[in-house]
Amino acid sequence: MVIPAKRRIDLTRYKRAELLLAFKDRQLPCFSTCCNVDVTALRDYTRTKQMSFFITMSYVLSRAVNGVSALRHRFIEDALWEFERVDPGYTILLDDNSFSFCDSRYFEDFEDYYTVARNRIESVKTNPDRTTGDKSHMFFITHVPWFSFTAFTHPFDKRYGSIPILTTGKYVERDGRLLMPLAIQVHHGLVDGIHVGAFYEQVQQLTEDASWLPR
């Protein structure tokens, strides 16, 4: 995978510099929240086309993350960087009920994205990947289809603390619509509620307006 380029942000001109300093050394500088997303149209489309709902939804999440610049910011060794794009990494369930990491690549074109994601997922099912390393250019998606939820938190690792973590759960039917819980965990030194709100807004727009999907 080609690691995307990044540019260093001048902290003397960064309008959130004081907030970054206020949160970066806290024992738990992250916050998380969860909202329901209407995935009715997206689920129906993937069933009709016999496509993976997870991969299709992960594209939506990847596009929304990349659409909010704050979610592409990373604090690395006391320097702040903005990546030109960030790539998704998934957790993939294996036949023995353990899981593998799966590093993928974001493409704005859905069909390119889908092909690479599908191939990467199939690859780790055969050759599981549990390696760690520098994944600052990524964000993480985990899917728990066995239950719905109203909140979700992940273990905190200071090295990866500025990487957003997204969690999707089992969708439930309510008034004829399918609602899926979507949790996001972010570093408060880099991301505020307004940025998370913009992320959710883009996710819902992409699930409701499926003009980007192939016909």
State the CATH number of the domain containing residue 186.
3.30.559.10
pLDDT digits (tens, 9 = 90+) for 126-151: 988 887 778 999 999 999 999 999 99
Total structural domains within the chain: 1
pLDDT digits (tens, 9 = 90+) for 152-179: 999 888 888 899 999 999 999 999 999 9
CA 173 to chain centre: 24
Does residue 213 lie in a domain region? no
Does residue 61 lie in a domain region? yes
pTM of the model: 0.95
pLDDT digits (tens, 9 = 90+) for 53-75: 999 999 999 999 999 999 999 99
Neighbours of 84 (CB within 10 A): 11
Does residue 129 lie in a domain region? yes
Does residue 215 lie in a domain region? no
Alpha-carbon Rg for the chain, nearest whole angstrom, is 17
Does residue 214 lie in a domain region? no
Residue with tokens 């074109």: 109
Instruction: Give residue 160's domain range.
Output: 6-208
Helices (H) and strands (E) in the chain, counts: 5, 10
Q: For residue 150, what is the enclosing H or E element?
A: none
Does residue 13 lie in a domain region? yes
Does residue 53 lie in a domain region? yes
Does residue 202 lie in a domain region? yes
